[in-house]
């Protein structure tokens, strides 16, 4: 693989990315809109001599749609899809729910640029480290599709995926990374089930029932109502869920009660139909926190409805409120044809309007629509690592800039050891929650500002002193190039980049360390550490903490 010296940090090098990965370095610099869907990444590199789709041999090289192939999954990649290569040609194909070592028969479903997607028809030989999935819905709902892969193998796959993306998309030399011990072993999650503090279920006028045949071939629809999770890739197919192994036992009690009675004709409740835009019940959102005095679990139940008719919900509220852990029942009213869970108005039907959670010795108020780390147990681990990597002096002299701060959880956990924290977030309610959380914890050296970090201008940053440390925790599309330009001009001594998408994270690290010649950007940071953290066992999601220091 060709390696070229690039202007920027002394000794920094860039590795030429494969053509099928270039789209990851996407249009974040040309538009504030989110990046297009990312292509997959394999831990096994495709041959650099493969012909392009335009070549004369493309008709024989690319497998045609509908063709049946015998394949072996080599690794996991984007969204947990299995990476395979066609025998003889090495052409890359992706298969959902294929796991490393599994030999199977697959049918090509579609071609996408320099790779294709296949549907698994039959397993010939099962994957390595096979275990029995404890959840009966694991094969269908898509929430935790790697339950039947041993946890240690899940960790290995995630660790390799991060490493490969940083090297190939981020264009960092694997030799230099190894020499400088850049990659740290992934931090496992000790709690493998019941770790989610928030789950959202959907009501539907039709119940989706999977067939016994190949997935997607003969999906069956019943006329009966459904409350559950959307089938992956479909907005109008809902799989009934009676118990979810990712949420707490208390919220499973709530789900069981609702499932038991909401279809009773005497109640007159109807699910919202996404096609006709008629019906009352849209979503059931369940959140779990902890009482700050006792430490016991407390549950919030949020019904999202198309109109405000509290009398319709009274029978459900009456039964739910008998569960000791339920301290709040809310009603978000969303009258739009859209099917989002955030309402235009919010009403308290029972108890209080917020619940509490505790992290790193602080207490946080959580409302129905608050953003909060979904795994409270592992958030403690994540925030401790962030604090360690920040390497604070502890003399109250440092300024911290907290970008994409959400409800202020990260900045507030650092506030007592620094001079001041300045947080920026686009969501108005999140900024309000952050300010309330600062007051709740007696923190007076934290300022939270509402602003769209994708639309900053030359005046951004004038309202606060130059920070010593920048914390950046963007959503999946990563950082806009405007923000990267600002950071390169700012030249703070350290950047802590927290990412829920290692592909866009790798792209942003490339810009910050190596620059972007076509935009006249010169990189000025050196990558010091990449620390993967498993926040969500049995799912393809990966969290990373990356530490950058000024050259």
Assess contact for 395 and 371: CB atoms under 8 A: no
The residue from 26, 35, 95, 500 that is catalytic is 500
Q: How far is CA 309 from CA 225, 313, 335, 344, 349, in A?
A: 20, 7, 12, 14, 11
61 marked as binding residue: no
- How many other CB atoms are there within 10 angstroms of residue 462's CB atom? 6
In Å, how far from its chain's centre is CA 167?
Answer: 21
Rg of the chain (C-alpha set): 24
Say whether 438 sits in a helix, a strand or coil. Answer: helix
CA 465 – CA 399 distance, rounded (Å): 8
Q: Is the dihedral of CA 243, 248, 249, 254 positive or negative?
A: negative
Q: Annotation-wise, does 193 bind a ligand?
A: no
3-state secondary structure 259-322: HHHCCCHHHCCCECECCCCECCEEEEEEEEEECCCCCCEEEEEEEEECCCCHHHHHHHHHHHCC
Residue found by looking up tokens 């045609």 in the block: 64
Degrees to nearest 5, angle at CA 467 with 463 and 469: 145
Residue 218, marked binder? no
Q: Within a 10 A sphere around the Cβ of 361, how many other Cβ atoms?
A: 9
List, in order, residues 6 or more apart from 364 with CB less than 8 Å away. Answer: 356, 357, 358, 372, 407, 409, 437, 440
Which residues, 6+ apart, have CB-to-CB distance to 97 below 8 Å? 82, 120, 139, 145, 215
CA–CA distance, 499 with 497 (Å, rounded to integer): 6
Is 135 known to be catalytic?
Answer: no
378 annotated to a ligand binding site:
no
Cα separation, 398 vs 465, in Å, equals 10
How many angstroms separate the CA atoms of 106 and 44, rounded? 20
> Residue 77 corresponds to which tokens in the numbers above?
């990649």
Binding positions for S-adenosyl-L-methionine? 373, 404, 425, 473
Binding positions? 373, 404, 425, 473
Q: Which residues are catalytic?
A: 500
């Amino acid at each position: 693989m060709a390696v070229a010296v690039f202007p920027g940090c002394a000794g920094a090098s860039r590795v030429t990315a494969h053509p099928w990965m270039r789209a990851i370095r996407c249009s974040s610099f040309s538009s504030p809109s989110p990046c297009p869907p990312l292509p997959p990444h394999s831990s096994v590199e495709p041959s650099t001599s493969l012909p392009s789709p335009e070549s004369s041999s493309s008709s024989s090289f690319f497998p045609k749609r509908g063709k049946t192939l015998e394949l072996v999954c080599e690794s996991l990649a984007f969204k947990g899809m299995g990476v395979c290569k066609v025998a003889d040609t090495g052409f890359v194909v992706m298969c959902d729910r294929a796991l490393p070592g599994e030999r199977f028969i697959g049918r090509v479903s579609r071609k996408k640029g320099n790779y294709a997607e296949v549907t698994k028809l039959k397993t010939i030989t099962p994957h390595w480290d096979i275990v029995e999935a404890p959840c009966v819905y694991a094969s269908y709902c898509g929430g935790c599709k790697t339950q039947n892969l041993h946890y240690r193998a899940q960790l290995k796959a995630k660790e390799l995926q991060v490493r490969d993306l940083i090297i190939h998309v981020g264009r960092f030399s694997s030799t230099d990374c190894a020499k400088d011990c850049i990659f740290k072993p992934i931090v496992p999650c000790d709690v493998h089930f019941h770790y989610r503090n928030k789950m959202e279920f959907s009501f539907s006028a039709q119940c989706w029932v999977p067939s016994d045949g190949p997935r997607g071939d003969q999906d069956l629809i019943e006329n009966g109502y459904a409350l559950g999770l959307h089938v992956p890739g479909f907005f109008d197919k809902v799989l009934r869920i009676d118990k979810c192994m990712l949420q707490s036992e208390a919220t499973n009690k709530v789900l069981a009660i609702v499932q038991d009675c909401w279809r009773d004709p005497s109640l007159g409740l109807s699910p919202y139909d996404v096609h006709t835009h008629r019906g009352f019940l849209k979503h059931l959102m369940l959140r779990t926190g902890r009482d700050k005095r006792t430490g016991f679990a407390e549950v919030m139940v949020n019904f999202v409805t198309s109109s405000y008719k509290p009398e319709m919900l009274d029978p459900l509220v009456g039964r739910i409120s008998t569960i000791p852990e339920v301290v709040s029942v809310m009603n978000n009213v969303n009258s739009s044809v859209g099917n989002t869970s955030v309402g235009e108005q919010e009403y308290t039907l029972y108890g209080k309007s917020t619940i509490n959670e505790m992290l790193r010795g602080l207490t946080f108020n959580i409302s129905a629509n608050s953003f909060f780390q979904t795994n409270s147990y592992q958030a403690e681990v994540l925030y401790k690592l962030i604090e360690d990597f920040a390497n604070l002096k502890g003399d109250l002299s440092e300024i911290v800039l907290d970008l994409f701060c959400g409800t202020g959880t990260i900045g507030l956990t650092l506030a007592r050891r620094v001079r001041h924290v300045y947080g920026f977030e686009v969501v108005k309610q999140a900024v309000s929650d952050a300010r309330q959380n600062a007051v709740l914890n007696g923190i007076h050296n934290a300022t939270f500002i509402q602003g769209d970090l994708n639309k900053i201008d030359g005046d951004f940053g004038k309202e606060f002193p130059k920070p010593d440390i920048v914390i950046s925790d963007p959503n999946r599309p990563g950082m806009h190039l405007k923000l990267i330009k600002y950071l390169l001009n700012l030249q703070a001594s350290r950047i802590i980049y927290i990412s829920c998408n290692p592909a866009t994270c790798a792209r942003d690290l490339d810009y910050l360390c190596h620059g972007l010649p076509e935009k006249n950007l010169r990189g000025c940071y050196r990558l010091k550490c990449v620390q993967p953290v498993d926040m969500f066992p049995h799912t393809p999601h990966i969290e990373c903490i990356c530490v950058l220091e000024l050259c």
